[in-house]
Structure 1
């Protein structure tokens, strides 16, 4: 995969995210996909990511803006920085009660890509900032 192909893959991934099309996001995943989440355990495989997406769709409505995507020349590693603009829809276990609060949160994601697919997604954000915004 070239750098341009990697960037196109991530554009497709984030366009699908903003459209709420989790199936299109999941279609981009490698068989040995790993999802490393901020403040959580590693999810392995597309099925675990599908379950995560279903849960997130119930609890949050989010759109990403100010997206900046970068990739190495080989197209094997990439990163993105963005602003998460969201609404907290349903109380997520262990977090403050949801009352339809809006939030705006800087975040970043790192990717491994191989064979034209996304093999790893690692996302970082400031959880304490999010909690302050929704409390």
Structure 2
């Protein structure tokens, strides 16, 4: 496994957990591709910044139990983790937010270019999340 790519993804998630959006965004290429779970594809750092702004308004999350893997050439990586979250503000088309807490297994796939994240694809079970915040 490529340790440089693993370190990049570790830094990416450490910045996320710290709420350090400047560092988080600086780990992305300018033309980063973001495949949103069960949603559309967005391209560019500005689109990702806007997405994260909405996420940070609606959710408070910490990622734990992180396992990161990378290909030998360092061009691809993957991470498996658990999202510990709190639903703060209602997200359009989703159940009403009332501060519900949730625990959600998730994963992500990455393409890496020039030691930056060039693509991120996130996966989690949306129906599981909906059931947790609707209970």
Q: Tell me the residue number matched to 2:19.
A: 20
RMSD, matched Cα: 0.9
TM-score with structure 2 length normalisation?
A: 0.97
Q: Tell me the residue number matched to 1:125.
A: 124
Q: CA deviation at 1:25?
A: 1.0
Q: CA deviation at 1:32?
A: 1.9
**Structure 1, unaligned stretches of length 5 or more?**
none
Report how many residues are paired.
134
Write out aligned runs for 1:36-115 (5 A). 36-115=35-114
**Structure 2, unaligned stretches of length 5 or more?**
none
Deviating above 6 A after TM superposition, structure 1's stretches of 4 or more consecutive aligned residues are: none
Q: Tell me the residue number matched to 2:32.
A: 33
Distance 2:94 2:74 in 1: 37
After superposition, the C-alpha distances for 1:57-97 in whole angstroms (9 at most, x for unaligned) are: 10000000100000001000000000000000000000000
Q: CA deviation at 1:22?
A: 1.6
